[in-house]
Structure 1
Amino acid sequence: MTIAPNPQQFSVDADFRPHAVIIGAGFGGLAAAVRLGARGYRVTVVDRLNGPGGRGRGFQQDGFTFDAGPTIVTAPHTFEELWGLCGKRMSDHVPLAPVDPFYRIMFADGSTFEASQDTEAVRAQVAKLSPGDLAGWDRFMARSESNLREVYERIQHVPFRSIWDMSIAMGGLARLEAYHSVYGLAARFVKDERLRQVLSFHPLFIGGNPFAVSAFYSVIPQLEKTWGVHFAMGGTSKLADGLADLIREQGGVLRFRQDVREIMVEGGRATGIRLTSGETIDADIVVSNADSAFTYGRLLPAHVRRRRWSDRKLERARYSMSLFIWYFGTDRQWPEVQPHTILMGPRYKELIKDIFERKVLASDFSLYLYRPTAMDPSMAPKGCDSFYVLSPVPNLQGDTDWTAAAEPYRRAIEDSLATKLLPGLKGSVATSRVVTPLHFRDTLLSPHGAGFGLEPVMSQSAYFRPQSCSEDIDGLYLVGAGTHPGAGLPAVLASATILDKVVPDAGQLARNGHQFLRGGGVF
């Protein structure tokens, strides 16, 4: 971890410190702002929404509190580091509580599986479901542990600035058997289809197809086991609020309800942004936390991005699936329901094909149910529960008319939950809100309503994914789910960590007249 000197130690007036403008107050943008502020930059964060968090913001409705997006914290040290850069402790501002079991998986045949940090308890469940697979399960977890070290040491925090960087990483990718899919790797070790699902569904949390995404994403079960699964008291959005407070305490500025029209470029270098209001904000560097495809396709003219991210390249790219989310609060409680429950549908591979390949809305579904009031009752009125239920669905490259399909789909999900997990749900709903792929396209500005930006297939990962340092424009940097290393809170925060390796520190930039070399260096 690199911590630059305090800005007051620079031999320039504080008003002349280099200015960083950040587009988007999602977790990537917030983390980037904290890091750049700690390295001496004046920071301005601009976001079109009404508060911090981006896809991970929160909202209140009828006395209930909801997280809009991420619900699980799996690598708390990545957040703690940001508070540490400001000389503070995260636990003093946003307490985390461990969740164990992590989640319960309910299969269509009525059997269940609970993921946990208790190795022997998990092994006992494996033995109960399929005794002959216990040895294979152990081998998979051992492989996942070694893969986690490889990903963290050689891939996740490394900028891929050339094909040479990628060639260096190829040895590690070979050791990870990245040429397999996550499901393919799981199938090598266990035979029971339920256990294969347990070991392979995680890529859906980051927009990936388990049958297509590279096996280096098989690290997620081990990531959960190594650092645990945690709940941010008050909801994950409290982490976004806390980071926003850190930025303000550093002297940074956050401006909400501000739409960015374009990134201004002069002489091949980003010089600031122009808002839809016509206002311009000059900057020494620009960091975009907007969706990477939106950044290149909508915020920059085609003639300045000829090298990598042309209109043709963006049109031919593969985009992740989208999400249907129903937020609802109830006037009663289900104390037996855990914070995180996954309900697998009757089909797995064929449903995944419907979502990612055929792009049709199937009549069946798999669901993730989040009950935060199991951890923090204050997120609902007394005696009530707060929920959200998420279903992976095709992005808008399919032909589903969500203006007509949303309510029938919600009712089908309600029927399923009432039958399988929440008896008495019908008639108990006190507040309700639905999000469809149209929200991801129109509000979050994600092309095709993709829930996680570019799909994390091998041809769109590592060097082949948009990088933190723009290949075409000096002084332009990208963070967030659509950039390397990808989606999910640990990866999104890692994209901001990479900035420490590619963005010059403010003192150096100030001393050298704010002049850039290609690739993030300075004269």
Structure 2
Amino acid sequence: MLDSTSVRPALKTSHRQPHAVVIGSGFGGLAAAIRLGAKGYRVTVLEKLDAPGGRAYVYRQDGFTFDAGPTIVTAPFLFEELWKLCGRKLSDDVTLVPVSPFYRIRFQDGSHFDYSGDPSAMRSEIARFSPGDVNGYDAYMRASEEIFKVGFERLGDVPFSKWTDMAKIAPDMLRLSSYRSVYSLVSKFFRDTRLRVVFSFHPLLIGGNPLTASSIYCLIAFLERRWGVHFALGGTGRLVDGLVKLIEGQGGRLRCNQEVREILVNDGVARGVRLASGETIGADVVVSNADSAWTYRHLLPESARSRWTDRRIERARYSMSLFVWYFGTRRRYDEVPHHTILLGPRYKRLLTDIFDRKVLADDFSLYLHRPTATDTSLAPDGCDAFYVLSPVPHLQSGTDWSVMTEDYRQAIAGELSRTMLPGLENEIVSSRMLTPQDFQDRLSSFRGAAFGLEPILTQSAWFRPHNKSEDIENLYLVGAGTHPGAGLPGVLSSARVLDSLVPDASHLVTLVTA
């Protein structure tokens, strides 16, 4: 706890530019910094790692460029807004290119479904599997659009600070069957079990279980069709670099290798932060882009918290984690598209193992990312860059990843060699891995959950940690663990919410000089 005579913003100094400290340089933190800069704040972004990005960190090794995490851009206008706030255009710094198909979904028997934003192509793909479900697709997309208009356009950047905010939308949520799971709602429109999988997997992209995630997340299907799926040439890191450039252009500052150990609180008000080095930094506003559970559990004393107590944090439900293997090959696999989802022999039971039983299963479903299908500059000539991602339980599974990592990697390599990448084991020239233990130790994710709180109805909107802290004045939260949730559109929208919550810097100066 900060003593009242130690580091406190110098609010008595006339005409001082108010200072905002942002903890973490993931997309939520970088977007928040730009929006605060546009409000007139002097902004300092503090990053624990040696480079910005958070989950969007970039690994460069052996001539390969590996994006650590998010690679799918589905709402480019949210990035365009940030560049516009700085008087620039996104295209000045980043080239986004459409990816088609969005995903190839490969079933265990070798058949596949190419998922795209082209309604005609989608009807043809559906007809190959189940001609009787073509009309169901049109009806589902109409339902997805209606959910999108409420869940994204009306509520995505609206703060849920009071329970009455939730009460106002309850009728719409009931009308849209938000109490049903994604899989349940999809099953209403498709009879073929394979198509039910094709149209229900989206919650996994934001850490949710399709069997339990609220059907509000069916909005993703329409969001993708409306704006498409894009990739940033040079990798997602180009977006990170571009955002940092905007912050610096506003006069803001990014400090890497600066781990925040404590948010300093005095009389219930956030007054700054203390770093692992012992340095203290005063602030008028503190924004945490760190995992919300980590923020409350590890950066604030329990005595300062009334809502997000240790007990409540421990009892909450958290998303799955991820095992990610980044690898480069000495040859190209030109027949492999940019995004492939390889489904294992089980769907529902595997999801139950991951989310409910928290068991590391012997089988798996995989997401294979081959960015060199779109941008060959990410690998040496004649080579391919990949990452393969396997959803796994978070650390409550008790899995010892120091023991399991290599065995699990080998099992995945064998499956990829058998299905998509023949002879893979003999072609690898670069390799690294990220496990649930790394999500906890490197990325400060509570229990190693890759997406924070699990996106179920009772942990959404008002039930989620609020963007304006319920416990601490002048503390705000952005990122996957707060409203509206994970995924690039979600974390960018969480920063958008701050526009209506954080006062303009000029207002604070007025209060000081009055």
TM-score range, shorter chain: over 0.9
Alpha-carbon displacement from aligned partner over 1:340-387 (angstroms, at most 9, x marks no partner): 000011100000000001111111100000001111101000110000
Deviations 1:202-243 (A, max 9, x none): 101100000011000011111110100000001111101110
Q: Name the SS of the counterpart of 2:199 in structure 1.
A: helix
- Pairwise CA distance, 1:15: 7.4
Gaps of 5+ in 1: 1-11, 515-522
Cα distance in structure 2, aligned partners of 1:402 and 1:274: 31
User: Matched residue of 1:200: which SS?
Assistant: coil
Aligned Cα root-mean-square deviation (Å): 1.3
Tell me the equivalent position of 2:499. 500
Provide Cα deviations, 1:81-103, integer angstroms capped at 9, x if missing partner: 10000000111101100111111
Pair 1:270–1:333, CA change in 2 (3 A): same
Does 2:274 align with 1:291?
A: no
* 1:15/1:236 CA distance change after superposition, 3 Å: farther
Instruction: Supply the distance in 1 between the matched residues of 2:474 and 2:53 (Cα, whole angstroms).
Output: 24
* Equivalent residue letter for 2:38: A
Kindly provide the CA deviation profile for residues 182-202 of structure 1, in whole angstroms up to 9, marking residues without a partner as x.
000011111111100011111
Distance in structure 2 (CA, Å) of the matches to 1:84 and 1:449: 35
Q: What does residue range 198-209 of structure 1 map to in structure 2 within 5 Å?
A: 198-209=198-209
Aligned to 2:441: 442
1:474 matched residue in structure 2: 473
Q: Is the partner of 2:341 in helix, strand or coil?
A: strand
Q: Which amino acid is the alignment partner of residue 251 of structure 1?
A: G
Return the alpha-carbon distance in structure 1 between the equivalents of residues 236 and 34 of structure 2.
18
Structure-1 separation of matches of 2:486 and 2:175: 22
Q: Is this contact kept in 2: 1:154–1:172, CA < 8 A?
A: no
Q: Residue 229 of structure 2 aligns with which residue?
A: 229
> 1:167 and 1:451 mapped to 2: Cα distance?
30
Alpha-carbon offset, residue 172 of structure 1: 2.1
Deviating more after overlay: 72-81 vs 152-161: 152-161
- Distance, in Å, in 2 between the alignment partners of 1:134 and 1:486 is 31
Inter-partner Cα distance in structure 1 for 2:188 and 2:413: 36
User: Structure 2: how far apart are the matches of 1:15 and 1:114?
Assistant: 58
Residue 400 (structure 2) pairs with residue 401 (structure 1): yes
In the TM superposition, structure 1's runs of 4+ consecutive aligned residues that sit over 4 Å from their partners are 12-15
Distance in 1, Cα, partners of 2:460 & 2:283:
29
Aligned to 1:119: 119
1:175 CA drift (Å): 2.5
Deviations 1:254-303 (A, max 9, x none): 10001111000111110000011111000000000000000001100111
Match of 2:6 in 1: none
Instruction: Give the CA deviation at 1:133.
Output: 1.2
Q: Deviations over 1:289-336 (max 9, x none)?
A: 000000001100111111x20111001000110000000001100111
Partner of 2:160: 160
AA matched with 2:160: F
Look up the SS of the partner of 2:127 in the other structure: helix
Measured against aligned partners, the alpha-carbon deviations of 1:152-183 in whole angstroms (never above 9, x if no partner) come to 23321110111011101112211221110000
Consecutive unaligned residues of structure 2, counting only runs of 5 or more, are 1-11
Give the distance between the partners of 2:448 and 2:364, measured in 1 at CA.
Answer: 19
Partner-residue secondary structure (3-state), 1:397? helix
SS at structure 1 position matched to 2:512: coil
Equivalent position SS for 2:396: coil
Tell me which residue corresponds to 1:433.
Answer: 432
Letter in 2 for 1:160: F
Aligned to 1:265: 265
CA deviation after TM superposition for structure 1 residue 13, in Å: 10
The CA distance in 2 between the partners of 1:157 and 1:151, in whole Å, is: 10
Partner Cα distance (1:222, 1:371) in 2: 24
Q: Deviations over 1:396-445 (max 9, x none)?
A: 00121111111111111111111111112121000000111000010001
| Structure 1 residue identity aligned to 2:72 | I
Q: How many angstroms apart in 1 are the aligned matches of 2:398 and 2:298?
A: 23
Give the aligned partner of residue 177 of structure 1. 177
Q: What letter matches 2:146 in structure 1?
A: S
Identity of aligned residues (%): 60
- Provide TM-score, normalisation by structure 2: 0.96
Q: Distance in 2 between matches of 1:14 and 1:91?
A: 39
Change (3 A) 1:377 1:162: same
Aligned runs of 1:5-20 on 2, under 5 Å?
Answer: 16-20=16-20
Shift in Å, 1:20 = 0.2
- Deviations along 1:485-522, one digit per CA (max 9) or x if unpaired, are 000000100000000000000111111129xxxxxxxx
Matched letter for residue 134 of structure 1: V
Matched residue count: 503
- The aligned residue for residue 518 of structure 1 is none
CA distance in 2, matches of 1:145, 1:175: 14
Structure 2 distance, partners of 1:14, 1:438, is: 48
Q: By how many angstroms is 1:70 displaced?
A: 0.3
For the residues of structure 2 that align with 1:13 and 1:36, how far apart are their CA atoms? 20
The equivalent residue for 1:337 is 336
Whole-Å separation in 2 of the counterparts to 1:408 and 1:425: 16
CA distance in 2, matches of 1:141, 1:474: 42
1:246 maps onto 2:242 in alignment: no
Q: Is the 8 A contact 1:154 1:169 kept in 2?
A: no
Aligned to 1:274: 274
Partner of 1:146: 146
Give the CA deviation at 1:14. Answer: 10
Letter in 2 for 1:213: A
Q: Distance in 2 between matches of 1:54 and 1:411?
A: 27
Given that 2:206 and 2:451 are in contact with CA atoms closer than 8 Å, whether structure 1 keeps it comes out as yes
Letter in 1 for 2:282: D
Name the CA distance, whole Å, in 2 between partners of 1:14 and 1:65. 48
In the alignment, residue 293 of structure 2 is paired with which amino acid?
A
1:517 match: none
SS at match of 2:424: coil
CA distance in 2, matches of 1:148, 1:492: 17
Match of 2:101 in 1: 101
Question: In the alignment, which residue of structure 2 is the partner of 1:374?
Answer: 373
The match for 2:35 is 35
Residue pair 1:25, 1:46 contacting (<8 A) in 2 also: yes
